[in-house]
Amino acid sequence: MINITLPDGSQRSYDKGINAYQVALSISEGLARNVLAAEINGEVWDASRAIQTDVNLKLLTWNDDKGKATFWHSSAHLMAEALEALYPGTKFGIGPAIETGFYYDVEFGDREFSSDEFKKIEDKIMELAKTKSEFVRKEISKSDAINYFQAKGDEYKLDLLSVLEDGTITFYTQGQFTDLCRGPHIPNTGAIKAIKITNIAGAFWKGDEKNKMLTRVYGITFPNQKELDEYLLLLEEAKKRDHRKLGKELGIYTMDDDVGPGLPLWMPNGTIIIEELEGLAKETEEAAGYKRVVTPHIAKESMYITSGHLPYYQDSMFPPMELDGTKYYLKAMNCPHHHKIFDAEPKSYKDMPLRLAEYGTCYRYEQSGELFGLMRVRCLHMNDAHIYCTKEQFAAEFRAVNDMYLKYFKIFGIDKYVMRLSLHDPAKLGQKYINEPELWLETEAMVRSVLIETGTPFVEVQDEGAFYGPKIDVQIWSVIGREFTLATNQVDFAQGKRFNLNFTNKDNEPETPLIIHRAPLGTHERFIGFLLEHYAGKFPVWLAPLQVKILPISDKFMPYAQEVLAQFKKAGVRVEIDDRNEKIGKKIRDTEIMKVPYMLVIGEKEVAESKLSVRRQGKGDLGMLDKNEFLAKVVEEIEERLAPEA
Ligand SMILES: [Zn+2]
Ligand SMILES: [Zn+2]
């Protein structure tokens, strides 16, 4: 008999050789029907694979990320079977699951291939899925594996095989298709109930442009049609809200070949949003006792050797420039500069905590293939700050940072968020993690209790902390349910030592401060990219580049329009007049496209009664309003940073 421990800690004994599917069946039939795979001692296995020793077991279903990944990877095999059936002689590269769905890199030979074929492939996949073919795992010797793919003439699989060691190789077969694969896979193809081929793209074999270009076929599958329909709706909505499209239409940012890839140029409208965000950050940080600093964009090599960025982070930095025989680097992080400010004057416990804030500009090398609109860039403006504190102050400081995150989420209408708390692994102290066993446990416990006390949703992940301390990644969801990683919030017990930072404690002894790195608004680039999608470009009034547009019906009403303009401007409202010689209908349409929150239509009646006809973006006519009352309402919306009314 063997003992199997389930995630809730309960133990069950079974005969040796039992598999995860049978374990599920012994619990309930419904559960067994939904099992896609199982996590055995942290490793994902086929649900049908025999278990020979005592293990920890977690059953994986569609509701687990790893269950989904297994489902999608299995779908890639099924798609390959369909492609082989439809286009004999097709050669196959790799076919992994990705964040949403899967792809397979294939070589169609001389055959032309286009999106016209998608429907045919989808139909074939569904036909094959219905055969409920089992995914059968088989260990195979290297020479037999080579013989198989030589006979088939698939040089890509042979290339993959060449670096594998004999005795570690497995094949998976479902229906008529056999693949070189480590697995795991779902029990059979019957679970795949809905498919969409989403895209094709060129992809060099092994990502190397010296190699042949293959066709990457993207798809996504679901265990029911309803979820596919919902996904396709979301996709359509996401397309409308694409930050690159809206960023261009609304004059937020642009890219230019001469400036370089991944280096956004912020246009006037984008710059207004940046300044509003910085205004919010400055106000909030000042109230929370932060001090602002400004630091250069470059520093000498020696500082990055002290910080450890060199050589460990070198691949993510721009190459150095040489000046007077010294190497300088563009900064990839603001921390070292801030540490130097901490160190510029002697500190005592009375100076603690010290909170240094800067909207710092950083430069990072992202591979050109990884660049994506505002989401992955090479120049970023970070809502950065470093808090230097004593151990006794840590819990309160961490709590204040957490409160700041929650305050921001409220302002921006971010209702769904999760803090992902990454912890250390005691077995790896001194290697993967700085060797401070007590500090790790203490700070982890303090962070955890703050999250629990404040009711902040969080998940804990073992063995994913930063080298220098526990780390929180903040994940947020836009209103259409897309996930973004916004920012991190990290505890650091290493940098203080590396930079030899000290304060004199109450016993008159030098002591190293704890450091908290935090960036609640992330970077302008990623956050504004997120907001464009989140608001579909319809910014709340306080963030809108243009808040009010005055639309006179004809030139006759310009004097009154000018008067309104002056009054609104004086009150601090961003306002313009559309003085073009256009019909009022066109003026309204054009203003709608630019998603200006308020439009004021001015004609005979408005002038006579000294009133305003107000239109709200997306809502239409609000009727004739008193000028002063309306202005007071707009000013309140701006000053209170009110969210758009639903
Ligand atoms: Zn596979
Ligand atoms: Zn930092």
- Minimum-distance ligand to the CA of 73? 1
Ligand with minimal distance to 137 CA = 1
From the CA of 63, how far away is ligand 1's center (Å)?
A: 21
CA of 139 to the centre of ligand 1 (A): 14
Nearest to 78 by CA among 100, 104, 98, 60: 104
Query: Which residues, in sequence order, are bridge partners of residue 483?
Result: 477
Instruction: Say which ligand is closest to the CA of 468.
Output: 2
* pLDDT at residue 645 in the model: 66
Distance 489 CA to ligand 2 centre (A): 9
Distance 495 CA to ligand 2 centre (A): 9
Q: Are 46 and 37 in contact (CB under 8 A)?
A: yes
Q: How far is the CA of 73 from the centre of ligand 1 (A)?
A: 6
CB 387 within 8 A of CB 401: yes
Element at 198 (helix H, strand E): strand 194-204
Ligand nearest to the CA of residue 74, numbered in listed order: 1
Q: Which residue bears the tokens 């140029």?
A: 265
Q: Which token pair is 606?
A: 């408005």
CA-to-CA dists, residue 378 to 208, 316, 390, 526, 601, angstroms:
22, 10, 35, 12, 43
Q: Where are the beta strands (DSSP E) in 543-619?
A: 548-552, 575-577, 598-602, 611-616
CA of 405 to the centre of ligand 1 (A): 41
Spacing, Cα 140 to ligand 1 middle (Å): 15
pLDDT of amino acid 646: 57
Q: What residues does 14 pair with on adjacent strands?
A: 2
Spatial CA neighbour of 91 closest among 158, 185, 13: 158
Kindly identify the ligand whose nearest atom is closest to the C-alpha of 135: 1
d(CA 59, CA 546): 53
146 backbone dihedrals φ, ψ, rounded to 5°? -60, -45
pLDDT given for residue 309 in this prediction: 87
For residue 558, which phi and psi values (nearest 5 degrees)?
Answer: -60, -40
The dihedral through the CA atoms of 28, 32, 34, 40 has a sign that is positive
What is the CA(79)–ligand 1 centre distance, in A?
11
Q: Report residue 587 CA to chain centroid gap.
A: 38
Model pLDDT, residue 388: 98
Q: Ligand 2: distance of its center to the CA of 577 in Å?
A: 44
Weakly modelled stretches of the chain, pLDDT under 50: none
Q: How far is the CA of 520 from the centre of ligand 2 (A)?
A: 12
Integer-rounded Cα radius of gyration of the chain: 30
Write down the number of H helices and E strands in the chain. 20, 32
Ligand nearest to the CA of 102: 1
Please state, in angstroms and rounded to a whole number, the distance separating the CA atoms of residues 556 and 545.
Answer: 28
Q: Is 424 helix (H, G, I), strand (E, B) or coil?
A: coil
Q: Are 545 and 272 in contact (CB under 8 A)?
A: yes
Ligand nearest to the CA of 471: 2
Q: Which of 239, 354, 336 has the alpha carbon at shortest distance from 291?
A: 354
Ligand nearest to the CA of 518: 2
Ligand nearest to the CA of 495: 2
Tell me the CA–centroid distance for residue 468 and ligand 2, in Å: 11
Q: How is residue 597 annotated by DSSP?
A: S
Strand 417-422 to strand 458-461: parallel, antiparallel, or no bridges (unpaired)? parallel
Ligand nearest the Cα atom of residue 360: 2
**Ligand located closest to 181 CA:** 1
- Max CA-CA distance within the chain? 94
Taking the C-alpha atoms of residue 303 and residue 382, their distance in angstroms, rounded to an integer, is: 20
The CA 552 to ligand 1 mean position distance, Å, reads 65
Are 626 and 636 contacting, i.e. CB atoms less than 8 angstroms apart? no
- Let me know: does 614 contact 625? Beta carbons within 8 Å: yes
* Inter-residue contact 143 to 81 (CB < 8 Å): no
Q: Are 636 and 532 in contact (CB under 8 A)?
A: no
Q: How far is the CA of 76 from the centre of ligand 1 (A)?
A: 7
* 3-state secondary structure (DSSP) of residue 439: helix
489 in Cβ contact with 471 (< 8 Å): yes
| Pairing outcome for strands 575-577 and 548-552 | parallel
Q: Return the ligand number nearest the Cα of 94.
A: 1
Distance 74 CA to ligand 1 centre (A): 6
d(CA 374, CA 383): 15
Q: What are the tokens at 389?
A: 């504190």
Distance CA 194, CA 221 (A): 5
